[in-house]
Structure 1
Amino acid sequence: MRQEAAVVKRVEVKSNGADDAYDLRKYGFGECEMDCGSGTSRLFSLLASKDRDFLLSPSGSQLVFYQTIRSRHGLKCLYLRQVKIADLEGKVVGIYFSANWYQPCHKFTPVLAKRIEIVFVSSDEDVNAFDDYRCSMPWLAVPFSDLESKRALSRKFDVEGIPCLIILQPNNYRQDSIVVDGVDLIYRYGVQAYPFTKERVEELLEKEKDKHTNQTLRDLLTNHKRDFLIGHKIPKQVPVASLIGKTIGLYFSAEWCSPGVEFTPKLASIYQKINQESSLNGHHQDFQIVFVSSDHDQTSFDSYFRTMPWLALPYGDPNIKTLTKYFDIRGIPSLVILGPDGKTVTKQGRNLLNLYQENAYPFTEARVEFLERQADEAAKNLPKSELHSGHGHRLTLVSEGNGGGPFICCDCDEQGSGWAYQCIECGYEVHTKCVRVVDNGPLLREGYS
């Protein structure tokens, strides 16, 4: 279910806890200055070339020619029509950077809203791939042969990744008339984001913030047809009401996701340790996990769920899509933690478990701050550098405030932050716990330094 979003240069927004999710600045309103020149419309300046004042369209008024092509959907008749760029004036326009060869773009393209004029800017390597991809699109396109216009658009908006959607408002010179992260808006809100103005996005963010502030476990996990979860024991239906007052982990994963399959046994072990500790303190299963499946079929779901000692939403349940969108899940496995009051504690449950194992429980801000202070104290006794058997250079101890930051451990392939051992020369980085210290002698004899 992994979905890659556009990477567009913009002002960095420092995290401010949960409220960062509702920060309007991350959508980049007005961050790209437009200088169109005297008497030239912005759209014409962006989309036209010295030899072209039109775009390609499947439904324009002027038919240039048509051809039959063999696409992934079978034989299709591809019409090449022209639409004048001037016809787009006064409309909301999205400039869509995408490519046929990049799978995440195929997931995003059908989601794209239909209430705006879209102009496709291709990153395909040949015209056949361009034509094949255009068969799935009902909108306009910059001709594949116009390389200079495509490059100029990418430079203008600092496009560094695809899919990327730049949204332009018809009001040429307002500061907030450009949105540089339309992909995220479409993923999160779909057609509700229209007309993509600053005011509309502020309204959506405020509604979303209110939902999260007032959320309950029943709101998240039940619907009008179901008030239970499924388990392994008899009876297999477990009332959602029985989970109220517990710390809940929503585990987004799937059998086809190899990182999820690798993480699940680790999560199961930690889950059992947390509940064993709770039992010793006189509590019964204070921590519960609910599997939110992205499996493609019932058989895969059943097979994967059998490896888990917790509960699950039924396969294909409508709440699965709702929760995925509500918590903005872009990649799996992902673990969202809910507190005993049903409110979101953190969406970084997987990362916290990788860092602190069962000690991360109950995942609260106070608990994480305590563990960070504990890690800082422990780091005082760690060597400033180490020779690690998994790498050829000496690794240096770093922290977030001293050359480090969030990373993927090159040894265990899991997320990390805080203290780490890093090779500045290679970008190699591992958790402090993943270092396998070796004696200097053998390393140096084998050419390590």
Structure 2
Amino acid sequence: MDKIVKVSNLVGKIVGFYFSGSWCGPCRNFTPLLVEVYEQLSSKGDFEVVFISSDRDDESFNTYFSEMPWLAIPFSDTETRKRLKEVFKVRGIPNLVIFDTNGKVSCDDGVSTVMEHGVDGYPFNLDRLNFLKEEEEKAKKNQTISSILVSSSRDYVISNDGKRIPVLDLEGKLLAMATEDVSRDLATLLSSEERDFLIRNNGDQVKVSSLVGKIVGFYFSGSWCGPCRNFTPLLVEVYEQLSSKGDFEVVFISSDGDDESFNTYFSEMPWLAIPFSDTETRKRLKEVFEVRGIPSLVIFDTNGKVSCDDGVSTVMEHRVDGYPFNLDRLNFLKEQEEKAKKNQTISSILVSSSRDYVISNDGKKIPVLDLEGKLVGLYFSIHTMCCEFTPKLVELYKTLKEKRENFEVVLISLDDEEEDFKESFETMPWLALPFKDKSCEKLVRYFELGTIPNLVIIGQDGKTLNPNVAELIEEHGIEAYPFTPEKLDELAAIEKAKLESQTLESVLVNGENDFVIDKSGSKVPVSALVGKNILLYFSAQWCPPCRAFLPKLIEAYHTIKGKGNAFEVIFISSDSDQSTFDEFYSEMPWLALPFGDERKQILSRKFKIQGIPAAVAIGPSGRTITKEARMHLTAYGADAFPFTEEHLKQLEEEIEEKAKGWPEKVKHELHTEHELIRTKRKTYICNGCRETGYSWSFYCKQCDFDLHPKCALKEDEDAGTEKGKEGRICDGDVCRRA
């Protein structure tokens, strides 16, 4: 029986999401390398991999997974596997996305990183990769024959009779190093000793020599590969549009496992292919062009030189406009895009060479010209990720239409499945670009999209008025319209006035809901809390970082209350049912909002709670002191109270003064490779005690290794954190994700 591992065990670790499948040749080639790296890093205890399968059946999944020493999402959880592929826009496999200890993506091309650097790439973040690059540059400047040929595991070369020759024996000699010469002559690349032709799907043979002087794309693909099946129709469309030019050709290099699959897939393609029987040439080309994932499209210019090694992205982004797919053309398109931004209109944004309309959800085509002179919202959406925001936008849209405002919305769907697009669009009263329209991906890049949902506002003059008003609509609704800078200034002034006049009642009272509850379930009037320091504690039982933080908060709570301070905590739950709420609340000594209270949503929106646990400190006057109380409690324990700027500054000065007495460098048994440097850090996970740290660390930049000062110096004294009533050191650790 498979062993179940809690997801919470991954908190604070470096985690790789490994998208792979047993049918995929490049995956099977890469997996043993990843296994080797994984096993070398196992002793560190902070690196894990999660396999996200692209296999088609349980048996294939189980057989492939049996070769892996890491974790996996169960094959039966199709929904999660599909969602992750959408979230990370996995277009080909193998694909490895690596997260740092704070849950942020540190490397989105883990396959290339692992292949290039192996275990030396650990912890696979930008600092490490930049360090390796710097080391490589230094090595070039101080190059010796040893720096070129010696590795960490080998200081010799070999002769053809198997003898090992020390590299040192080569010092002072003139050397010629023979490397493989990869010919770009198409005839050499595409032919074999027995074959000088390619085939069409009707069986016709075409001489390889006929490709000389043409622009040629080598298309590595396979029928079993979902991203390939999605990309192939697009490439067919581009190919057919370029066919009249007579100088563009594509050659299919199959990754299928049998003749029947090859023939069925090739029957959909209007171009040429290497015969499926020529396994040797297909394998050689994959090695020559280091094909690590499919689909892959390598494009050659008329002289047989590679003009584009990422033809898939180029074709997806530019379609036929990318022709002839070389650097000059791509730079030209980039320049044109910059000019278009300067002279932007709604038509220049939405019209393409093949379409001058948008569509309604009843199938009508609406000319883009009809949108000229209107205030237009471009709604970038993924159905499953925007189901909470869409109803709010629908409400605003209908209200503005009733007021006859000159406002329109155009959906830019980023869904991969047409069913998701249809399900989403049928609930929307506005317009849309057609599903998978070529402008969708282009506009993502054009507007440098960073979040979903995103509503870009285009002014009546066609210029971008605001790059994203989704949050404004969530906070202010119809009051945010018409989204002008003047309106934003007005809202900011209103918000500032609200903050200055804020009272505890204005925060916690909503209509008849003017109370919180105590441990017995009795109502406690909000008015009874006026004049106290209040901590709003957003949390949930299902959240591992919340469970990690709770004991620290309880300890701080008792310490603060024990000193006679007028202080109270109010639990605001994100639990999914009453019983879970009751169970989690039973561990807490303070007050709470009743489960399911609508004020939870109001408060989350008001304080922009993006993740939990979160703690907002409200002062005796009712004004907000800080939204970062959890961080301060983590850093200082109960000493953080009352959370004011002046008090926290004093604590920071005390830490700074103490740091002056610490050594600049230390050597530690947990990290024998390098010295640890005393370094000012914003936040980190201590590699010793696995707790969160703030401010100072003893840090190895080369290895991204941190130790708390108390861990590095084996301190027993108080390092600026609160000692509990039993004399224990409380660092306020919380395993948290960004």
Equivalences for residues 85-124 of structure 1 within 5 A: 85-100=368-383, 103-112=384-393, 113-114=396-397, 115=400, 116-124=407-415
Rg (Cα) greater in structure: 2
Whether 1:349 and 2:618 are equivalent positions in the alignment is no
Correspondence for 1:52 among 328, 352, 355? 355
**Aligned AA (1:190):** G
Greater fraction helix: 2
In the superposition, the TM-score normalised over structure 2's length comes to 0.46
Measured in 1, the distance between the counterparts of 2:545 and 2:456 equals 32
Relative distance call for 1:193 and 1:435 in structure 2 (3 A) is farther
Relative distance call for 1:87 and 1:245 in structure 2 (3 A) is same
Equivalences for residues 8-19 of structure 1 within 5 A: none
Is contact 2:392-2:473 (8 Å) kept? yes
Root mean square deviation of aligned Cα: 3.2
Is contact 1:389-1:436 (8 Å) kept? no
Q: Which moves more between the two structures, 122-131 or 321-330? A: 122-131
Aligned residue number for residue 13 of structure 1: none
Whether 1:286 and 2:566 are equivalent positions in the alignment is yes
Aligned length: 369
Measured in 1, the distance between the counterparts of 2:408 and 2:691 equals 41
Aligned residue number for residue 551 of structure 2: 265
Measured in 1, the distance between the counterparts of 2:479 and 2:691 equals 35
Measured in 1, the distance between the counterparts of 2:475 and 2:369 equals 31
Measured in 1, the distance between the counterparts of 2:566 and 2:672 equals 41
Measured in 2, the distance between the counterparts of 1:301 and 1:406 equals 30
Is contact 1:388-1:435 (8 Å) kept? no
Structure 2: gaps of 5 or more residues: 1-86, 88-336, 401-406, 715-738
Deviation at 1:43, TM superposition (A): 0.7
Deviation at 1:259, TM superposition (A): 2.0
Aligned residue number for residue 275 of structure 1: 561
Deviations 1:206-228 (A, max 9, x none): 11111111111122223442443
Is contact 2:381-2:454 (8 Å) kept? yes
Relative distance call for 1:256 and 1:107 in structure 2 (3 A) is farther
Q: Which moves more between the two structures, 135-144 or 212-221? A: 135-144
Aligned residue number for residue 531 of structure 2: 245
Measured in 2, the distance between the counterparts of 1:333 and 1:259 equals 7
Deviation at 1:119, TM superposition (A): 2.3
Aligned residue number for residue 14 of structure 1: none
Aligned residue number for residue 471 of structure 2: 184
Deviation at 1:367, TM superposition (A): 0.9
Measured in 2, the distance between the counterparts of 1:371 and 1:218 equals 31
Deviation at 1:365, TM superposition (A): 0.7
Measured in 2, the distance between the counterparts of 1:290 and 1:210 equals 25
Deviations 1:389-430 (A, max 9, x none): 49987654322xxxx435566777876542234443455556
Is contact 1:250-1:289 (8 Å) kept? yes
Q: Which has the higher contact order (CA 8 A, sep 6+)?
A: 1
Measured in 2, the distance between the counterparts of 1:118 and 1:405 equals 41
Equivalences for residues 82-231 of structure 1 within 5 A: 82-100=365-383, 103-112=384-393, 113-114=396-397, 115=400, 116-147=407-438, 149-172=439-462, 177-231=464-518
Deviation at 1:291, TM superposition (A): 1.2
Measured in 2, the distance between the counterparts of 1:133 and 1:104 equals 11
Relative distance call for 1:412 and 1:363 in structure 2 (3 A) is farther
Whether 1:360 and 2:650 are equivalent positions in the alignment is no
Measured in 1, the distance between the counterparts of 2:368 and 2:380 equals 18
Relative distance call for 1:410 and 1:250 in structure 2 (3 A) is farther
Relative distance call for 1:349 and 1:141 in structure 2 (3 A) is same
Relative distance call for 1:376 and 1:153 in structure 2 (3 A) is same
**Aligned AA (2:430):** W
State the identity as a percent: 39
**Aligned AA (1:164):** N
**Aligned AA (1:94):** G
Deviation at 1:377, TM superposition (A): 1.7
